[in-house]
Structure 1
Amino acid sequence: METLRHVVVLVHLVGFAVLFGAWAAQAFGGKRQITRMMDWGLAIAGAAGLALAAPWGLADGVEMNYAKIGTKLVVLLIIGALLGIGAGRQKRGATVPPAVFWLVGLLTLANAGIALLWR
């Protein structure tokens, strides 16, 4: 069971990498647009994160940190909202507001930081 949990952690990290990598490619490539890869990365990271929030495969005596899980979920929902706002503006022919675009990257990085640093 522990091996399966580690595989889900790997999938979660891949989702983060897809989201952040797609954002970084746009940020440093000059276009600064919301792409479908960002949406896919968000979906992968979110689904794997929810699977990790279930209390399965933990060693005896290990307890879940529900405050951390809740915080990460709220940040994930905000990222999703920002991606939706940016994609909606793109479909109407407008540009993505710089604040929305840069917040996506900042919050994605913050979510990874929360995962790593909050014990």
Structure 2
Amino acid sequence: METLRHIVLFVHLIGFAVLFGAWAVQAFGGKREFTRLMSIGMTLAAVAGLALAAPWGLPEGAELNYAKIGTKLVVLLAIGALLGIGTSKQRKSGAVPAAMFWLVGILTALNAGIAAIWR
């Protein structure tokens, strides 16, 4: 069971990497727009993250940090909302508001920071 949990963690990390990598490509070399790949990465990270939040496959005596899980979920929902609203605006006007675009990158990095630093 622990092996399956590690595989789900690996998929979660891949989802983060896809989201942040696609954002970074657009931020530093693209047209600063939201791409389908960002939504795919966010969805992959979300599904795997929710699976990791379930209390299965934990070592004996280990407990989940529900405050951390809740905080990461709120940040994820904000990222999803920004991607959804920004993609809609992008279709209508052809551009994403700059603040919305940069906020997605900041929140994605924040979510990774919460995962790595908060114990």
TM-score (norm 1): 0.98
Tell me which residue corresponds to 2:70. 70
Which residue identity is paired with 1:118?
W
SS of 2:93's partner is: coil
Matched ranges for 1:16-95 at <5 A: 16-95=16-95
Which residue identity is paired with 1:13?
L
Report the count of equivalent residues: 119
Tell me, in whole angstroms, the C-alpha distance in 1 between the residues paired with 2:94 and 2:4.
44
CA deviation string 1:3-31 (max 9, x = no partner):
10000000000000000000000001140
Instruction: Give 1:95 deviation, angstroms.
Output: 1.5
Tell me, in whole angstroms, the C-alpha distance in 1 between the residues paired with 2:108 and 2:57.
26
| Aligned-pair Cα RMSD in Å | 0.7
Tell me, in whole angstroms, the C-alpha distance in 1 between the residues paired with 2:103 and 2:35.
15
Tell me, in whole angstroms, the C-alpha distance in 2 between the residues paired with 1:27 and 1:116.
23
Structure 1 unaligned spans of 5+? none
Q: Segments of 4+ in structure 1 off by > 2 A? A: none
- Does 1:4 pair with 2:4? yes
Q: Percent identity?
A: 71
Which residue identity is paired with 2:105?
G
CA deviation string 1:35-84 (max 9, x = no partner):
00000000000000000000000011111000000000000000000001
SS of 2:9's partner is: helix
Structure 2 unaligned spans of 5+? none
SS of 2:32's partner is: coil
Tell me, in whole angstroms, the C-alpha distance in 2 between the residues paired with 1:90 and 1:99.
13
